[in-house]
Structure 1
Amino acid sequence: MASDPRAPSERRSSRAAVVLAAGQDDASRDLLTRPLGDSTVAQVALANVRALVPAERIVVVVAQGDTALPALLGDDLTYVEQTERLGTGDAVRAARGAVGPGVDRVLVTYADTPLLRVESLLGLLTRHELKQVALSLLTASVPHPDAAYGRIVREAGRIVAIDEQVEREPGDGVVEVNVGAYVAAPALLFEELDHMAAAGEHRLTDLARRVIGRGLEITAYRIRDTDEVQGINTPAELTAAEDIVLKRLFVPRKNTDTRIVFGTGGWRAVIGEGYTLANVRRLTQAIANEVVRQGLEDKGVVIGGDRRFLSRDSAIAAAEVFAGNGVPVRLLPDDVPTPLVTFAAPHLGAAYGIIVTSSHNPPEWNGIKVFRSDGSLPLDEETDRYTDEANAMRVRDVITLDIELARSAGMIDERPLTEPYIDAIEQIIDVDAARGSELRVVVDPMYGTSQLTLGTILSDMRVRADFIHAAHNPLFGGVAPAPDLQRLSALIGMIRDEPGRYQLGLATDGDSDRIGIVDERGEYVSTNDLLLLLYWYLWEVRGERGGVVRNLATTHLLDRLAAHYGEPALEVKVGFKHVVAAMEEIGAVLGGESSGGLTIRGWLLGKDGIFACALVVEMLARTGKTISQLLDDVRAITGTLHTLEAAVPSTPEMRVAVPRRLAAEPLTHIGPYPVLRVGHLDGVKLYLENDNWALLRFSGTEPLLRMSVEADTPDKAREMLAWLERFVTAGV
């Protein structure tokens, strides 16, 4: 038969749905109102149907006298009562009078099968509409199915029977079974149900048998995820369903969900999946709405982009949206570092600064970071507000003004801000201290955006600098542009190959807000050690006074050094916005994270790898010592701790199992080492004796479970990390 030529919106309006919610008994009906995720069983099931069928065409069949479900599900649906509990066929038949005119096909499903995905129900409806058959049913390939499910019998690919009599042994393997959701034309559906009632047949399975017996064609949409088959008829099944719902929250979403979600460092998504120009426009429209609501239009916004694929196009798209909303834009030309935009917002007095970047993520990612007028990152409450608005927005709700019109109307200013940014850094960095030091460094910008700004600053300091990986390469050489030990082999090799030629290796990540360094011997220096050095330098040499702020994944040696100076130290959640907020709280002189981000009091309210590189050069010039010599000096005060980190892919199963195991059996030891206390500030942190600790934390920007440890000796650190790895992977 010919397929249905109508547009999807037309086909949707001609659908109706009958949702069976009368239950087998009071206990099964009670389960429909029990919590499931952040909703209830019945609400989840109905949300799936609402996504496919207009509310005014959804009929819910409830038990006689049931008022609880209608109150729960809302008054925009139609409710009918099943006066006798004769079976599922009889329940559908009770909905006959409520299925209105103009309906071509009726979807029949259940309120106690909320784990059926919207995609599966859509697949069933679409298959029926394209095949133009008499009846379509939902099937699933299930290993060792329960005997309650009828087995689909096929001949030459066609369904010829649904066999409920065959007894299956556990070794039968994968079997295609009838899930119990159907689609049929209303005339056929209710005519056959009438015949069935007259014959004393009241199950929907009998409907399929009768249609097959009449020689009419039926088809099936087969689902492959066995979790969808999980019904909820007992408390044990509800518990199993809760696990499935929780697991699904952590499954990476693809084309079926393009929501904008902020992590610890802005919004990031895979290009072509969540990251699209349409989403860029929706997000910037939501931020433009925020600007207008606050009456800040005259302040305008500043927008820049890094070297990633689509960054320039995205920056222009964002500028067109702000211009369309009457908000002037300073659109920075070419590619710029994230810290330059952080600086630009307060420098210009702009309402917001926006940078198109995905920081150190792999090349297939892009994203957007947003800065407030003072250059700080907005806190969760604010980002939630405009992401919620953006996600609820239709594309036609976005107001734009073409870039050329915006330029001619004076709404877009494309002058650079590179020189003011460099000048501001050089007002804090002692440029003259490095002159005459004859320092020579090698810099790896990792194909990112720091070459112009950092190169100019080093030139002004009369520091000879050789750059590698400075070309514009949106693929970043095929690796994620993160300045860590694994990705700085070229930089390390240059220093080791010519001993004495370079006193320092510097690296910045893809958007230049993180730093990595290599000492004069070609040894990678961890950010933990770098933070320790800089805090010592600021206090001892520059005479700065104040405490230190670190995130909970960063070395406790900072706390030891602060205690030595009689200064406070604060531990905060991962995310630089938390570091900055705590710095202001205690007047800290330094704030940083072990992942490579840092800032000092009086500079930006955000991390800046370019500024950090210049400060390290100043430290070497003013002390006249190498990095390794300085580390020896500091460790004489603090002693030594050894940190190790690892990460494993955070599968949905792991994100369910690990927190559950930690809650059920709180850890009292890591191997033989006793746990003194457990913190839940961000993930789970286990505090041991002598500033030793271990951290389990699911990343906010990547699908990873991160594990970090700090211990007295390298062997102990390795032992603790290996124990954590065994713990998180056990039984998953």
Structure 2
Amino acid sequence: MTPIHFGTDGWRAIIARDFTYANLRMVAQGIAAHINSGTGPRKSVVIGYDNRFMSPEFAQECARILAGNGIKVHMLINPAPTPLVAFAVRHLECSGGIVITASHNPAHYNGVKFIPAYAGPALPEVTQCIETEINRVAEGAKIYEIDLKEAAQLSLIEEIELDNAYLTHLDKLLRREHFKAKSLKVVVDPMYGAGMGFLEQYLTRLGIEVKSIHNHRDVMFGNIVPEPVERNLFDLRRAVVSYNADIGLALDGDADRFGIVDQEGRFINGNLVIALLLDHFLKTRTVRGPVVRTVATTHLLDRIAKLNGLQVIETPVGFKYVSQAMREYNGLLGGEESGGLSVWGHVPEKDGILACLLAVEMMAYSGKSCAELTEELYRDYGRLVNRRQDVLFTQGREPLLKERLSAFRPKTISGLKVLSITDQEEMRWSLADDSWLLARFSNTEPVLRIYTESADLQSLEAIEKAFCEALEINN
């Protein structure tokens, strides 16, 4: 059996190969044992699921086991975005939450996310405890379970609906009056995922004209990967232009990541959107606090923070670390380049729905297009261009690439002086002129991720080329 391991954000595996009922049952028992090892007399958990193949059935299997361990189960009756489950954990004061989802992975994957009582992604010390319990089950420890009808009779399970409560919570974070400053037309693409209906419902209530695509369940996700990045958003880009819309909004499979398309049908990368939203937040809110970003996220946030007297906290890659810093330092805004964002007052979990609504609020309040807002941002803080490349490699090649990475310690890269080299979970080369390069291996795929930022596209491409040539990989 392949060992069950929680990666950057949960356990994900290919359905029928490693994501099986047998393995899921072990994971559910591991989570139940972890919850029961905690303090407090009354344990409870929220369970949600996305639109993937068999996700509702897998969620019910988890419910049988959690209830069998004496843990009260609040089962969400509709497909649930991860941020909604996180909200439910806090709203109901639960011991934790489980989401059956593989997020933005391809359709043949499914997975499990565990959300602890603090309503954010599980940190390594939590998932390591769960993995220890899973290993005990694999070695013969008992799985406790109960029939769902019997669980209901014992008040160990109840079905709940919190969609409206979640949207009401978002009302406290958004400024409804700003949305009414300018009439906008919006196209929404939930990518067949669990976020279907949330953006449409909220914006329609405000009188905003909304068109929606890919807004029904399709377990194959239209034969694309439900990740809201440029290569997967052709239909949204085309729809924005066809409908003469002001903005296009996309969500990933469990709606914790966002993607934005401007009125010309151009994709705006997550780094730039987060910088724009930070600038908007500072202009429209009085609350202040540190800005939290991962090591792979744009340093444009640093420039904005510095000129506004704010501290920047840098974390390793993974929103779980952003969440931890947001909680510990009362952060104003936390972001990661892959389209993850949360703000002060919200649950410490990335929320694509909130990010998309903030983008619409920003446009309506300013009366400006995304392009105009971007030029204004660059005028105030200077231009930085960034990009992530994912290099797929064949099985067995990772040790060689790691060896080459470790040996890559030049004094200059593409003519720019190397100021420092950091070698931790990822390797980062800090260069002159605010440029930097970072490389890390994916925890879920045979992929080397390369992140680059520089003053302009020409410099960025030169840095990428020099790096790929040194490692003998194709970019």
Q: Does 1:355 align with 2:355?
A: no
1:638 maps to 381
Separation in 2, partners of 1:352, 1:305: 14
Match of 1:403 in 2: 148
Q: 1:665 to 1:727 in 2, by over 3 A?
A: closer
Q: d(CA) in 1 for partners of 2:50 and 2:387?
A: 31
Task: Choose the corresponding residue for 1:718, options 455, 458, 461.
Answer: 461
Instruction: Summarize the Cα distance change of 1:470–1:297 in structure 2 as closer, same or farther, 3 Å threshold.
Output: farther
- Which residue of the partner structure matches residue 377 of structure 1? 121
1:433 to 160, 173, 178: 178
Q: Conserved in 1, the CA contact under 8 Å of 2:196 and 2:216?
A: no
1:701 partnered with 2:444 = yes
Once the two structures are overlaid, the 10-residue window that deviates more, 440-449 or 618-627, is: 618-627
2:412 maps to which of 642, 654, 669: 669
Mapped partners of 2:293, 2:35: distance in 1: 32
Q: CA deviation at 1:258?
A: 2.9
Equivalent residue, structure 1, for 2:225: 480
Q: Deviations over 1:33-59 (max 9, x none)?
A: xxxxxxxxxxxxxxxxxxxxxxxxxxx
Counterpart residue number, 2:164: 419
Q: What does residue range 553-632 of structure 1 map to in structure 2 within 5 Å?
A: 553-632=296-375
- Alignment RMSD (CA, Å): 1.7
In the other structure, the counterpart of 1:467 is 212
1:540 and 2:293 matched: no
Task: Give how far 1:414 is off.
Answer: 0.6
SS in 2 for 1:707: strand
Q: Whose Rg is larger? A: 1
Asked if the contact 1:436/1:462 (under 8 Å) is kept, the reply is no
1:411 Cα deviation after fit: 1.4
Residue 589 to residue 369, structure 1, CA distance change in 2 (3 Å): same
Counterpart for residue 11 of structure 1: none
The Cα shift of 1:461 comes to 1.9
Distance 2:54 2:135 in 1: 21
Q: Which amino acid in the other structure matches residue 335 of structure 1?
A: P
2:63 aligned with 1:324, yes or no? no
Aligned length: 473
Q: Structure 1 pair 622/730, CA: closer, same or farther in 2 (3 Å)?
A: closer
State the partner residue of 2:193. Answer: 448
What is the alpha-carbon distance in structure 2 between the residues aligned to residue 436 and residue 711 of structure 1? 36
Cα contact 2:26–2:143 (8 A) shared by 1: yes
Structure 2 gap segments, 5+ residues each? none
Which residue is 1:79 aligned to? none
Q: CA shift at 1:604, angstroms?
A: 1.3
Letter in 2 for 1:637: D
**Partner SS state of residue 397, structure 2:** helix
- How far did residue 730 of structure 1 move? 5.6
| 1:555-583 superposed Cα distances (whole Å, 9 cap, x missing partner) | 11111111111211122111101112222
Task: Give me the whole-angstrom Cα distance separating, in 2, the residues matched to 1:515 and 1:524.
Answer: 11
Secondary structure at 1:361's aligned position in 2? coil
- In the TM superposition, what is the alpha-carbon distance from 1:665 to its structure 2 partner? 5.1
Deviations 1:120-177 (A, max 9, x none): xxxxxxxxxxxxxxxxxxxxxxxxxxxxxxxxxxxxxxxxxxxxxxxxxxxxxxxxxx
CA-to-aligned-CA distance 1:88-119 (integer Å, 9 cap, x gap):
xxxxxxxxxxxxxxxxxxxxxxxxxxxxxxxx
Aligned to 1:306: 50
Match of 1:266 in 2: 10
Asked whether 1:689 is paired with 2:427, we answer no
Q: Gaps spanning 5+ residues in structure 1: where?
A: 1-256
Match of 2:23 among 279, 298, 306: 279
Farther-moved stretch of structure 1 (722-731 vs 590-599):
722-731
* Higher RCO (CA < 8 A, seq sep 6+): 2
CA distance in structure 2 between the aligned counterparts of 1:557 and 1:296, rounded to whole angstroms: 44
Work out whether 1:647 is the aligned partner of 2:419: no
Q: Aligned partner of 1:600: which letter?
A: V
The 3 A distance-change label for structure 1 pair 730 and 576 is closer
- Answering whether residue 32 of structure 2 is matched by residue 288 of structure 1, we say yes
Instruction: Report what 2:130 is aligned to.
Output: 386
Deviations 1:6-33 (A, max 9, x none): xxxxxxxxxxxxxxxxxxxxxxxxxxxx
TM-score by length of 1: 0.63
How far residue 396 of structure 1 moved from its aligned partner, in angstroms, is: 6.8
**In 1, Cα distance between the equivalents of 2:335 and 2:473?**
33
* 3-state SS of paired residue (2:187): strand
2:406, 2:448 → 1: CA distance?
A: 17
Shift of 1:463: 1.2
